[in-house]
Structure 1
Amino acid sequence: MSKLKTNYLGIELRNPLIVGASSLTSNIDTLKAIEKAGAGAVVFKSLFEEQIQLEELELENELEEYNERHAEMVKLFPTLKHAGPAEHLAKLKKAKETLGIPVIGSLNAMHPDTWAEYAQAIADTGVDALELNFYTTPKDFEVEGKTIIQSQVEVLQSVKEKIKIPISVKLSPFYTNPLDVIRRFDETEVDGFVLFNRLFQPDIDIDKEELVQTIILSDSSDHRLPLRFTGLLYGNIAADICAATGIMNGNDAVKMILAGADTFQVVSTLYRNGIDHITEMLAQIEGWMNKKGYKSIDDFRGKLAKKNLHDPFAYRRAQYVDILLRSNDIIKTNALK
């Protein structure tokens, strides 16, 4: 599959398929299977600062539970210091030492001063690159959007000053103008963008009348949003583009590359179809390339990006108007099925 070779974040990959951060990428045996199946690279499961703080709080509560239980006792247990991210970093280092494909670290921090600290710790494991997950859950009516964006820009700058390995930013689509935000990040000379982060959304159990947490895997229809922005961004930013969300098969992946993606990430499709689906997806991409006569990924990357199309409405919402005008035909067609 030499014709699938590509570059991402300055790193040569044997193909553009990257397995995204998830529980799948935290187990060494699964990581070995992912490499054997043919993945070009892997993003190790994210280090969540919020989870670390929660674990530290739980441990502290457990240690305090038996304090002063007996009149002559001050503490039943000796004071212990929680290992914090040490276990995660040890697993990440082992993954890098074990695998022959590039390993990318992933970070979700909470506070401006801890982003750089944790980024340095991850970089010290020897990983090939670092993926920063930028998103903010709105919870304060008084905070302006520009304040959030500026804070993220400053975080990115502080991390770049701290570490020397390539950095990508995985973004949420929930900005007023994602293109403007991406442009600002691109001006900091970030190495790549991952489009987009699939965020948890709450649900309600109406029988129990309570909030519930459910995991909803993506499907092929979800790739249209990253496809749109990939097509708009190609040729207009210096950083690489990695498409994510809703890429379930080789055909979905080909669409992303035609729109201008350098690489793409998969997660949900592996939960649905198993690790061996990686091999099948790569075979589908190469089969399509052979059918079309393409010798390399570069031969068709960005061919259908907005920059390379003459259609003034390419990737614009105006295309939706045509669908609305044809809505009666669509309804009639579906009624006949």
Structure 2
Amino acid sequence: MDLSTRYLGLSLKSPLVMSACPLGLDLDAIRKAEECGAGAVVLPSIFQEDIENEIEEIEHLATLGDSEALSYFPTRLSDNLGPQNYLNLIRKARAAVDMPVIASLNGTSRSGWIDYAQQMEEAGASAIELNVFFLPTDLELTGIEVENRHVDILKAVKQAVSIPVSIKLSPYFSSPGAMVRTLDETGADGFVLFNRFYQPDIDLEELTLQRDLRLSHRGEIRLPLLWIAALSGKVKGSLAATSGVQSAAEVVKYLFAGADVVMTASALIRHGVGHLKVLHDGLVADLTQREASSVADIRGRLSRDKVADQTAFDRVNYIRILRGGRYIA
């Protein structure tokens, strides 16, 4: 069975990708992911504000001459300041596996996006995923300004590095398809659909904000499935599906919609990295049952342009579901 695919111009042995999550901090987990059938790994995101806050704290302690506080930090601070630990992770991961190692970056300033992206390239990252986690809670910020911010970030990073650059997007644009097309024209090598934003909850007993992380469930597949199906064949960049992947069924559905790769993290956090083998073997079994010889045989066969009834993706389907659809508890 030929599971090979292309993503961001890179050759992958399979469309399964371990997406950015804490598991990517463990070299053994990365090795096991490859052994279990992953075609690539996206390392956890590096956050610019975390790095800068750490540097500011150490510099502040040094200014105060607080030797006791400084004793809690490594002797050679220069080896650990800034993104050095993350860059070392890139180097070690590249040495540990044959599959592509994709770095993930969340910046806060133009100089930060550029500087850290360049350092990631120098460390050996196969590609960079821009994790543009940005909530426009400033009520004065317009939709156009939000969109331009994404374009400016992509343009700056693309000019700064020569390796492929993908962008992980939110589904909350007024026109996600048009946003993807604009970024595609700007030079994005791929799109990860979609970023899951984590909103706070309220603890009514303590009257405090709760910051918990809810793992995704298979019901979340439908929104990215819709947009991947709509974008398949319409953009030059690769399409990566994420959210809701719990079993091989979701992997197959995303491929039918037109995804080049399918990313998962929640399922691996729930069941362990070895769950990738379950997804891998399930994908092989499904393709075998369909008498398909490769992933390419099914990719995009149920994209919007390929289905006979395109209204299944559009407004008419919305009306039909409300009037006579099946209700699933």
Q: TM-score, normalised by structure 2?
A: 0.92
Please name the residue that 2:36 is paired with. 37
Please name the residue that 1:220 is paired with. 218
- Pick from 295, 301, 304: which aligns with 2:293? 295
- Pick from 188, 193, 196: which aligns with 1:195? 193
Unmatched 5+ residue regions in structure 2?
A: 69-74
Query: % of aligned pairs identical?
Result: 35
- Is 2:44 the counterpart of 1:49? no
Taking the aligned partners of 1:60 and 1:203, their CA distance within structure 2 comes to 35
Taking the aligned partners of 2:240 and 2:185, their CA distance within structure 1 comes to 18
Taking the aligned partners of 1:174 and 1:295, their CA distance within structure 2 comes to 37
Taking the aligned partners of 2:143 and 2:318, their CA distance within structure 1 comes to 28
Q: Per the alignment, in what secondary structure is the counterpart of residue 38 of structure 2?
A: coil
- Pick from 82, 88, 110: which aligns with 1:84? 82
Q: 1:274 to 1:67 in 2, by over 3 A?
A: closer
1:76-155 equivalent positions in 2, closer than 5 A: 83-155=81-153
Deviates more, 1:163-172 or 1:316-325: 316-325
1:274-311 deviation per Cα after TM superposition (whole angstroms, max 9, x unaligned)? 11110111111110111111011111110000011121
Please name the residue that 1:320 is paired with. 318
Once the two structures are TM-superposed, the CA of residue 227 in structure 1 deviates from its matched residue by 0.3
Please name the residue that 1:72 is paired with. none
Once the two structures are TM-superposed, the CA of residue 68 in structure 1 deviates from its matched residue by 12
- The 8 Å contact of residues 170 and 197 in structure 1, kept in 2 or not, is answered as yes
Q: Per the alignment, in what secondary structure is the counterpart of residue 305 of structure 2?
A: helix
- The 8 Å contact of residues 106 and 133 in structure 2, kept in 1 or not, is answered as no
- Is 2:275 the counterpart of 1:280? no
Alignment root-mean-square deviation, CA: 2.1
Aligned length: 322
Taking the aligned partners of 1:253 and 1:187, their CA distance within structure 2 comes to 28
Unmatched 5+ residue regions in structure 1?
A: 70-77
Once the two structures are TM-superposed, the CA of residue 66 in structure 1 deviates from its matched residue by 5.5
Taking the aligned partners of 1:90 and 1:330, their CA distance within structure 2 comes to 50
Taking the aligned partners of 2:327 and 2:191, their CA distance within structure 1 comes to 36
Q: Per the alignment, in what secondary structure is the counterpart of residue 129 of structure 2?
A: strand
Taking the aligned partners of 1:35 and 1:285, their CA distance within structure 2 comes to 16
- Pick from 218, 232, 235: which aligns with 1:234? 232
Taking the aligned partners of 2:120 and 2:324, their CA distance within structure 1 comes to 52
- Pick from 243, 246, 249: which aligns with 1:248? 246
1:148-167 deviation per Cα after TM superposition (whole angstroms, max 9, x unaligned)? 21122122111111111111
Once the two structures are TM-superposed, the CA of residue 183 in structure 1 deviates from its matched residue by 0.7
Taking the aligned partners of 1:80 and 1:12, their CA distance within structure 2 comes to 38
Taking the aligned partners of 1:270 and 1:80, their CA distance within structure 2 comes to 34
Taking the aligned partners of 2:104 and 2:198, their CA distance within structure 1 comes to 17
- The 8 Å contact of residues 242 and 263 in structure 1, kept in 2 or not, is answered as yes
